[in-house]
Each structure stands twice: as C-alpha cells, then as structure tokens.
Amino acid sequence: MSLPRHLFTPAFRVQHLGRSFAAIVGIMVFIASFATAAETVLLTASYLWGQTMETRLTVEIPAVGDEASMPQAERVRQAVSVLRALPDVGMVSPLSDSEVERLLGPWFNKPELLRALPLPTLIDVDRKPGAELSAQKIQAALKNVVSDAKVNDHGAWTRDVWRLVRGLTLLGGLTIALTALTLVIAVSLICRAVIAAEHETISLLHLIGAENKDIARHFQSQASRIAARAAAIGFLFALFLTLGLFFSTRDIMNLSSLEWIHWVSVGIVSLLVPFCATAIATVTARISVMRLIETFP
Amino acid sequence: MLTVLSHSKFQGQMLLSFQNVSLSYEPKLNILDNITFSIAENGFYFLTGTSGAGKSSLLRLIYQSERPSSGQIILFGESLTNDGHKKQAEMRRKIGIVFQDFRLIPHLTAWENAALPLRLTDAKEDYIKRHTQELLEWVGIGHRMYATPQELSGGEQQRVAIARAVVTKPRLLLADEPTGNVDEDTALKLLHLFDELNKLGTAVILATHQSHLVDKFHKPALRLVKGRLQKSGN
C-alpha cells in the first residue's frame, strides 16, 4: 500500500508547516548534538584525567639556601629512596628542572627571573591501585630525611572536580531531555496543524476505506523524510561548531589525553542524536496523527 | 424489479436491507422516517425525491458517514453496528461512492485521484497504472489523465470521480446526484456509464432529483418524500 507521496503536500509545503517542522527538528538536533558532544568529551577527558590524578601525590622538596651542608640533589635522592621503599607506592618520578620551569612558566613574565629563583623539586608519587596511602603517612616517612618536605594529595581536589563534572553532565543530560520533550511537543502541535489543514483529504480517505493506521503510516513516512533531512543538517552545524570550539580553545582545554578511539566514541555517541531525533519525531507524528484522526467521524 | 421487501423473507439474497430505519437530528427533526426496503445483488436502483427529501442522508447511512437513530441496516450480509473503525473501513472498501461535489483532491492529477482507492489495497504498482489508465479511457478522459481537477470541466471531474469510485470493482456503487452539475447530454452519457458498470456486476444506487432522466432508463426507483419511502418500482 502506497498513497501518493505528495498527498499532504498542501499543508506541509504550501502552508510552510513542513518548514516549521524541519526547523524545529534541525534546531533541536543542533542543541542536543552539541550538548552530547561537549558532555561526552568532558566526561571522557575528566575520567582519563581523574584516573591519573586520583592516585597521584606530589612531594615538594623546597630548595635549600645552604647547598654546602646538604645539596638539593642529595635531599631528593634520599626522599626518592624512602618513597620507593614504601609498600603502597607504585611509581616515584622526580620532575626535571625543565619540567618544573614549564609548570611555573605561565606565572612569570620573565624567564630569567624564574631561573634566578630557588625552585623546589617536585616528585610525582603514584599509589598502587586500591592502596590506602595518605599524604600524612608519606609526610611521616619523609620526616627523618627531608623534614621540610610537603605532600600534596591530588585525590582530594580531583574528587571535587569530579563532582563538578558530574553536575555539568547532569545539566547536559537535562538539556538533552528537555530538548527531546520540546521536540515531542512541537512535532505534535505541527501535526495537529497539518491534520487540521488536511481535514478534507483525511475525511475522503476514510470514506474510500482507508484505515487510521494507513493514513498515520503515510503521514509518518512524510514526517520522517523531513525530520531525517533536518536532523542531518542540524547535526552537521553542531559538528562544525563543536570542532571549531575545540580547535579554538585547544590551548585552554588540554584534551591531549584523548586518543583517537575516544574521539571516535564521541563521534558515535553524538551521531546517535540525529537518529534518535528522527525516530522521536517520526513516532510522535504517528501517535499524534493516530490520536487526532480517531476523533474524525 | 425492485420490491420493498420484508427483511426476514429475503435477508439471505439481499445486498442491502433497511429495517425500520429512522434518522433524526433532534427529537422533532426527522430526516428519514421508518424506512424499510431491501435491494438485490447486481441491481440498478434510482433513489429519487426532491431536494431535502433525504436522499443524501440515506446514502450516508449506507456508507456509514452517519448512524441511524433507530432501526437496522444490513449490508453484504452484516449488520452495520458501531463495530469500530477497522470494520467500517473494510465495509467501505467494498463500496464505491460518487459524491455530489466530486471530492477530488485538488493537487493530485486525475490519474492519481482515480487510483487512490487502489492504493489502499495490496495491488501492484503495474496493475494500478494499467487499470487506472484503462478506466480513465473508458470514462472518456484518458487524454486528460495528468490534469488536476482545476484544469478539468465539471463533467470531466465527474468522470474522474466515477473512475475513482469503481477502480476497485466495488460490489455496490453509490452515486449522489452525479448528473446534477452537467448538461443533459453529459448526464445521459454518465447514466449509460453507470448502466454499463451495472452490467459488469456492480450494484448501483443512484440518487437524483431529475425524474425525467429516471424515466429514460427502465430501472426500479425508490422515491423519498420528506424522509418517507413513498413507493417502489417504476
């Protein structure tokens, strides 16, 4: 069974309801795709970043004024030995001077000033997975060799960051859900307008023996074609915006931890949006039409 | 010959049977009053009466656009009760209707309009194309197949409406004033078309107020006067 493709054309085309339908689907897909891509990138990046940072502590060995009594290199060597001897420690890695300079560089206008300052030595320490090694324990272990060492546990503040990310993710999810709800409401309103405009045609179809499901199926396929095209356009706009945004902010947002597989995952998850939107628009159109034409005499 | 028959006697052989059917919109506004008749398979019947006599209402009861206020209608051996939309659609697919105002879809071509009922069946596209084309040629507008209703004259539109009504080879054809908007010659040609259809096996009920046309065809007639069935036969 196939009714003429342009059966409902007057309402869809002549009265611009098709354009309104396409615009709403396109805009909703644009918003949802952008939110999904941003959310997925944020989640993936923060997860990867959190995986590293949550188990990491940084030991700071302040620079000594009197190199003659105890050279800084010796203090670092002793601290590293103590740290490596701790059973819950996985990896101990002192940062080179150039790495420390790179970290502090953005805070100093003049590089020569940075080189003139007595910089501390930083040692990255990774806990073994599941180990209960606190900053206090490390501090206590180092007390005898480097009494002025400071231990900074990244796990404490990364948990706060993770809570923030989860909050943002929830907000993103809420945005997507509200977008889907808006799409459902808008599509059902447009369907109502189309059905009102096509009242005569639908009455005739009933009189020649068309069942509601025949009419709804035909309407649904027409709505589906419009929705699919609009969703593709909305998605492409969102894609360009997302790529542009990531590219222009690549210096601010460090996304270097994301590998190609993560970017592919972001793409796949985002690509679900136009498909889901088309499906939502199609199903909404069918249900709306079925409900409306059931009230026809 | 048509006879106003009692339902109990002829129910088995009848295509359509009305039993004490009344239609009223308000308690005191009777459109049809206690109508009882039966018609046979493959028959050709005129439904006559002046404007407002209830002809269109009676046809609407047959194609279930309206429900009787009382009484029973039996069509194709089944009682027309409120069986739901699916059953109603199934019954309507066995009926062809030529509406007084044609009811052609303005943005579809004559061919697309005529083929519409076939598209509600499982007919193959090839068959739809061929059969609809043949039918439009048969009703005499094969050369105007791709014209839209606005580009057709009243008579041509009427022929498209007839083609659409018979394209699925219905068991019953209902025509509501099919000659009301055409000249005498065209009216006679249309009536001959209905006669030919009837000979091909479709029962026809043709509502008209033009009694002079009825007289030219020796067919039985149901005469409605103010919603009451007055007499039968011709």
Name the pLDDT band for A56 (thresholds 50, 70, 90).
Answer: confident
Average pLDDT value for residue range A128-145: 84
Please tell me which residue, A191 or B84, carries the higher pLDDT value.
A191
Contacts of B86 in chain A (CB under 8 A): 211
| pLDDT tens digit sequence for B119-150 | 998 899 999 999 999 999 988 899 999 999 99
Are the beta carbons of B164 and A206 separated by less than 8 Å? no
* Residue A211 to chain B, least CA–CA distance (Å): 6
Q: Best interface-test mutation with A: which of B62, B95, B119, B126 has the largest number of A CBs within 10 A? A: B119
Q: Which two tokens stand for residue A127?
A: 């806990």
Q: How many CB atoms lie within 10 A of CB A169?
A: 16
What confidence score (pLDDT) does residue B3 get? 40
3-state secondary structure (DSSP) of residue B153? coil
Are the beta carbons of B117 and A208 separated by less than 8 Å? yes
Tell me the C-alpha distance between B92 and A207, whole Å. Answer: 7
What confidence score (pLDDT) does residue A178 get? 94
What confidence score (pLDDT) does residue A27 get? 94
Contacts of B121 in chain A (CB under 8 A): 1
B185 interface with A at CB cutoff 8 Å? no
Name the pLDDT band for A110 (thresholds 50, 70, 90).
Answer: confident
Q: Name the residue among A200, A209, A294 with its Cβ closest to that of B93.
A: A209
Q: Give CA separation, A207 vs B1, B107, B117, B131, B156, in Å.
A: 29, 19, 10, 21, 21
Name the pLDDT band for A13 (thresholds 50, 70, 90).
Answer: confident
Query: Residue A252: is its pLDDT beyond 70?
Result: no
Q: What percent of chain A has pLDDT over 90?
A: 27
The B residues from 2 to 61 touching A (CB cutoff 8 Å) are none
| Cβ contact B224:B231 at 8 Å | no
The B residues from 85 to 104 touching A (CB cutoff 8 Å) are 85-86, 89-95, 97, 103
Average pLDDT value for residue range A79-98: 88
* Residue B63 to chain A, least CA–CA distance (Å): 7
Interface of A with B (CB under 8 A): 1-4, 6-7, 9-10, 200-201, 204-212, 214, 294, 297
Kindly give the parts of chain B with pLDDT less than 50: 1-12, 233-234
Contacts of B161 in chain A (CB under 8 A): none
Are the beta carbons of A1 and B120 separated by less than 8 Å? yes
pTM for this prediction: 0.73
What confidence score (pLDDT) does residue B46 get? 93
**SS3 per-residue string spanning chain B:** CCCCCCHHHHHHHEEEEEEEEEEEEECCEEEEEEEEEEEECCCEEEEECCCCCCHHHHHHHHCCCCCCCEEEEEECCEECCCCCHHHHHHHHCCEEEECCCCCCCCCCCHHHHHHHHHHHCCCCHHHHHHHHHHHHHHCCCHHHCCCCHHHCCHHHHHHHHHHHHHCCCCCEEEEECCCCCCCHHHHHHHHHHHHHHHHCCCEEEEEECCHHHHHHCCCCEEEEECCEEEEECC
Average pLDDT value for residue range A142-153: 87
What confidence score (pLDDT) does residue A45 get? 80
What confidence score (pLDDT) does residue B215 get? 85
Tell me the C-alpha distance between B43 and B201, whole Å. Answer: 8
For residue A183, report the phi and psi dihedrals to the nearest 5 degrees: -60, -45
Are the beta carbons of A7 and B105 separated by less than 8 Å? yes
* Complex ipTM value: 0.86
Query: Residue A259: is its pLDDT beyond 90?
Result: no
Give first-to-last CA distance, chain B, whole Å: 8
Query: Residue A232: is its pLDDT beyond 60?
Result: yes
Q: Quick one: how many helices (H) and strands (E) in chain A?
A: 10, 4
